[in-house]
Structure 1
């Protein structure tokens, strides 16, 4: 299993394109794998005959693990499949992997029945199908040997032979006694759609976020007339100069990145009782795919880029998303996310935090309407371009002062946008 991006430790096999006994050529795609929301192809490193497939469809495989064995033979010919499984020659096999290190050995652990399991650890264990004894066997690096989230993920990276036991049951939270509602189903009129893999992951991620972070949402209305006038005046010149379309998104990202630099504690993650402050400002963009699913692509180090550079990155990510060509690194590592709900005509939204971040900003539709403004002549009514911003934040670590101050700073950068800004 090749490494397909920073921080990616495993992938799920979607489909094998070749079978045992098939002849493959070097660089020919032999299977498809998925990491979170991105699908990738895995090519054969040599020309030869597949003699063994070790993991089947839907298996979750750690980076560096051997997926299959190929008997290297530059003059390979088609081999007829037999009912018996071919045995690879010991001196002529090649592991499908891009790492020179041998696969990690299974960890021998001793169960500690007194190990404290936080609700977060329990949630991760249930999602990863870890048994109670298996979780209690993980060495903890926290205070007094407490098991931390990073300990569980490090264990999962090297997990090869799971302990066989009953699944972990969360006894720390009361089980709801409310009966599951009965769904009325008319076979002649209604029909069923099975969730695809991405939709299942989105559903799990959203539920996990709401269970993990106490969400609070603040709203702000901003006057973006100067910004709208500037964009209308320069969009054609921008297209000619950079061969890129100029939308409002690059300006929104620029304003958010500048506000994060002013309030760095909004650019954090929570690990148990620790707050991890991220130095890099990587802005995620929530994007709806043609399938209706949602994906978050990332503009890295947005605070170090000017608007033309951000525009080029945004357009590239948007096209890649529409054509299903996003790479794993394109959707990893965001530290703050924005969601432009105005694209769909929504006035405002209450977005769900993209874990493990602590805040997400929704941008509503820009609408013209009469507003009272103060001029040199006094108060007057004028037609202005107005927009709502809504910030959902994790109240565990972001209080009202920080959340409100950050939101106001974003609004200030948008309202006070210089209409003479060069391109």
Structure 2
């Protein structure tokens, strides 16, 4: 009996000892969890609660279907952001790799032509054939590179990624801020996605944008801008309801349309035409010079007179072709043209946005005037007072507008 009593007592002490070892950890975890809950409660008091219905809420089946469609569009837009971003990086690498490869091939061909014509005892035929082959390869690669304009393609994809990201944020903001959606909202989002797909296509074959258009036109990546339906509160408003608009604000917006048309958009279209002409000239000069270099390399084994001209064409043609290629693709003239075209499209979009608001006679169906004025000012990089000053200056100067509307670019 004493031995059993001793063993039982010792075992119970071990159990108590083990329990006493684990109790501090449990209490620490409980205390930390309590502090986390208290912090979450404090945080929930700070964040305003909104009654935005979600897919898990008890909403009408039709509204739930609308939300599901909006989320499907949102997922597609997010995927397009990544697609255009990745493709843009790939095509930017194309530009740098092709530029380096073509310049290396061209300078190697020119060096072979120089060695064949000046070094006595050099293997003339081998150097001549090698130089001619390299020049022909460089000519073919330059024709393809000038056709697709990798720097311009990369700029297109950068613009597309930025605009799709902007559309993604717009859809997220609408979902968070608004409590009711209709199929009109879904159709409008679909139109914006498809308009961006048409403006900035991903494939190269068949649907690639024209890199050397006959006439420079602003880029268009938005559907027809029409005013959306209004809320019940706006529809039930009386005749005194102005929705933030006034006669002075309408006149200010009309003057801004004129400034954007006469100064900003036309200036970028003019710069785009200059960049396009330069790009065309360089695109013709590069393959022409490498072709002349190939012809000069073949003349190295002819008569002394022809050999002299062959040396001049073989060496100088390659050197000048490398300079032209570096200016065109190293300077990314195609990207500059696309940037000017996109900037002109941005000002055209702003004009259409202002015009669509002013053409709407029902003030309740317009965007809020004060909010719209602030949006226009921010898009142009100006304060509200500066925007008013530009409109007033345009009104005083008449046709001779001096100041640009935008200060961003």
TM above 0.5, one fold? no
Structure ranking higher in helix proportion: 2
Bigger-Rg structure (1/2)? 2
Structure ranking higher in strand proportion: 1
TM-score normalised according to structure 2 size: 0.25
